[in-house]
Structure 1
């Protein structure tokens, strides 16, 4: 079960601010104004504004780590604080994160020092700060967590797989796991790496750059940020009087290959069926779907067809939403943000809208414009990675 939610997103810092923007359908997509990015063809992204890392993380950790780890540590601190988690035995608490881009900004800075000034000007933390495992390591060191720790490398879908990994650790006897994902790929080196993705949107208008399921869809917009959670054993949470936010009920994962969007139909459908089976959830029990929503027409069609394959006739009735259209796709951080939105939607009885999209091309009930009042008990969160991973996660209302 989830007892803590921590969010660092383009639309808000902290779960409350993030939810307010999400339920109102606000978009934070904006022209990229980072130093060194002005000559790149990628013009729009989801940027986290107003984030002061020093408000969340001690200086000794900041100098060792990249912005993606600052986000993860801050989100983890928010989740731990919300869960009021107190550690008596450090070997009963673990950490699991997912990351795809790693510490690109830190790595670029040190490589520039190497080639500009020589090896003696490269800091010792270059060896760890760029590494995709840095967030797990720093969160565990900072919190003194000595239980099972790990890193999921499953491209974007890893944001859901990390939570499944945490749930399985709980099933093997761990009392609590801090789990989730955060990314920071909006720096020149990281952005150049992303230019190779054929689905990347190069549209310059923030309101038109990322329109999943829309007839004007032209690809996806990258973003930074993410979410972290406290996943706990039910008995442990009940014994200490923790507030239960939601239940992790089921998970499924498959792999269908890089950018093979037509093939992702079968892979995603199988992941959905696997998650529903683990959750002992019938297709018509799904009350809301948080879509992967790539914004590439072929991929969006495949996702809608996968829902029809897995949910049958119910696929045309269940509300579908894609809040990430207002934040951009923060790689592994995006499905984690969708899980946060799903938890808050289950709690508040509201299905948030899909920002900017107005002309839905798919045969799904896409929520647009305004939030929809509902009483959802079960949410299905979907994610596909650009390298071919597919994942589905079922959440139940507490």
Structure 2
């Protein structure tokens, strides 16, 4: 059995689990006007920004010139997760600790800064760290080096679905014999090129009001807002966790991934199939699920298709549904893992956070979307959904490890 024993969060509305969870319950948003460069003239200017953390306070000075924003945030989250889990990495064999991270954009800001130097000043001015700081696998590599971890490690790229894929792969790695795996997803792509890439999707909300721009499952939904940050988890074999007396947040009980068929194939999207496969993997029936953390793009046709998948599995209004990411924006590989953090906290505190910003759900959706304020209820099993652009789907079942009467 694979359990989660440590959490590290770097979110637009809170650094650390405690601050993030408090903000999520209170409706404190991390959405703001993008201020990394002059966005005058762009059709959208709002994003979920991690603006309250100084990497120099958390990382050695030698790492700062080597790393992109996303890698710095990943290193901060990884250290927080290990501390939260009470892991003494020096006391463990370096080959008993693995790493799996997801990343959708690589070191976007870093590499484009170096490209500008190349074009304007010449190759002799390009940082030697460009050779690896741009790469999708750099977060896995830097965490490995910083904490002396040489066990099975990998990097995954599946856009918004990638973070859940990382947890699923970590679970597989633990089952194969590695006692501890650091896993999760963190992303940031907010330089001019990154912002252009976000806008190129055609799905970013153009609404200028931060309070209403991203309204998942709403009658007035007009798209999503991008964000940065994410979360890192420590996943362990349950017996190894017990030996060292670790606190257990919950169990990764089930996981599945699918890929959507071609748009003109006439076949349905793969999200429902992934959710059903994850439930089957966990040995959980639909009626045993207490809450669903939805992917919730805020794009009407995608919200509609997700609602259809949920109705097909649970029936009309069959399970509470929520999407805290309305307060952070969609964090690419970090989004699904941040929802897992919310799921674990919901289990711990028997409280489901609402979907802020959304006020009116189309009747035809047939979903019980939690709105307005947190819902106090018993939570033992949560289903977390994530969809990435170009057809990626990933679903995780998170379950309370300790049985309750």
Q: Normalising TM by the smaller chain, what interval?
A: over 0.9
Q: Which runs of 5+ in 2 are unaligned?
A: none
Pair 1:350 & 2:354 matched: no
Shift of 1:287: 0.1
- In structure 2, relative to structure 1, the CA distance for the partners of 1:386 and 1:264 (3 Å cut) is farther
| Pairing of 1:268-279 with structure 2 (within 5 A) | 268-279=271-282
| Cα distance in 2 between the residues matched to 1:321 and 1:347 | 17
Shift of 1:263: 7.5
226-235 vs 123-132, which moves further: 123-132
Equivalence for 2:392: 389
- In structure 2, relative to structure 1, the CA distance for the partners of 1:3 and 1:29 (3 Å cut) is same
| Pairing of 1:25-44 with structure 2 (within 5 A) | 25-44=27-46
Equivalence for 1:58: 60
| Cα distance in 1 between the residues matched to 2:205 and 2:264 | 16
Q: Secondary structure at the match of 2:366?
A: coil
Q: Which of residues 281, 286, 294 in structure 1 aligns to 2:297?
A: 294
The CA deviation string for residues 94-145 of structure 1, in whole angstroms up to 9 with x for no partner, is 0000010111110111011111111111011111111111100000000000
Shift of 1:261: 11
- Paired residues in the alignment total 395
Pair 1:189 & 2:212 matched: no
Shift of 1:29: 1.2
| Cα distance in 1 between the residues matched to 2:62 and 2:176 | 34
Pair 1:365 & 2:368 matched: yes
| Cα distance in 1 between the residues matched to 2:113 and 2:254 | 41
Equivalence for 2:249: 245
| Cα distance in 1 between the residues matched to 2:11 and 2:27 | 14
Q: When the two structures are superposed, what TM-score results if normalisation uses the length of structure 1?
A: 0.96
Shift of 1:57: 1.5
Q: Secondary structure at the match of 1:63?
A: helix
Q: Secondary structure at the match of 2:231?
A: strand
58-67 vs 2-11, which moves further: 58-67
Equivalence for 1:321: 322
Q: Which of residues 109, 134, 150 in structure 2 aligns to 1:146?
A: 150
Contact 1:25 1:369 in 2 (8 A): no
| Cα distance in 2 between the residues matched to 1:294 and 1:55 | 34
Contact 2:261 2:268 in 1 (8 A): no
| Cα distance in 2 between the residues matched to 1:107 and 1:266 | 35
| Cα distance in 2 between the residues matched to 1:154 and 1:49 | 26
| Cα distance in 2 between the residues matched to 1:396 and 1:3 | 13
Shift of 1:253: 0.7
- In structure 2, relative to structure 1, the CA distance for the partners of 1:214 and 1:180 (3 Å cut) is same
Across the aligned residues of Structure 1 and Structure 2, the Cα RMSD in angstroms comes to 1.5
| Cα distance in 2 between the residues matched to 1:261 and 1:327 | 33
216-225 vs 31-40, which moves further: 31-40
Contact 1:224 1:330 in 2 (8 A): yes
| Pairing of 1:160-239 with structure 2 (within 5 A) | 160-239=164-243
| Cα distance in 1 between the residues matched to 2:264 and 2:296 | 12
Equivalence for 1:116: 120
Contact 2:261 2:270 in 1 (8 A): no
Contact 1:160 1:383 in 2 (8 A): yes
Q: When the two structures are superposed, what TM-score results if normalisation uses the length of structure 2?
A: 0.95
- In structure 2, relative to structure 1, the CA distance for the partners of 1:395 and 1:85 (3 Å cut) is same
| Cα distance in 2 between the residues matched to 1:338 and 1:75 | 15
Q: Which of residues 44, 48, 51 in structure 1 aligns to 2:50?
A: 48
Equivalence for 1:103: 107
| Cα distance in 2 between the residues matched to 1:263 and 1:80 | 46
| Cα distance in 2 between the residues matched to 1:387 and 1:159 | 16
| Cα distance in 2 between the residues matched to 1:183 and 1:149 | 18
Q: Secondary structure at the match of 1:157?
A: helix
Contact 1:91 1:145 in 2 (8 A): yes
| Cα distance in 1 between the residues matched to 2:110 and 2:116 | 10
Q: Which runs of 5+ in 1 are unaligned?
A: none
Q: Secondary structure at the match of 2:200?
A: coil
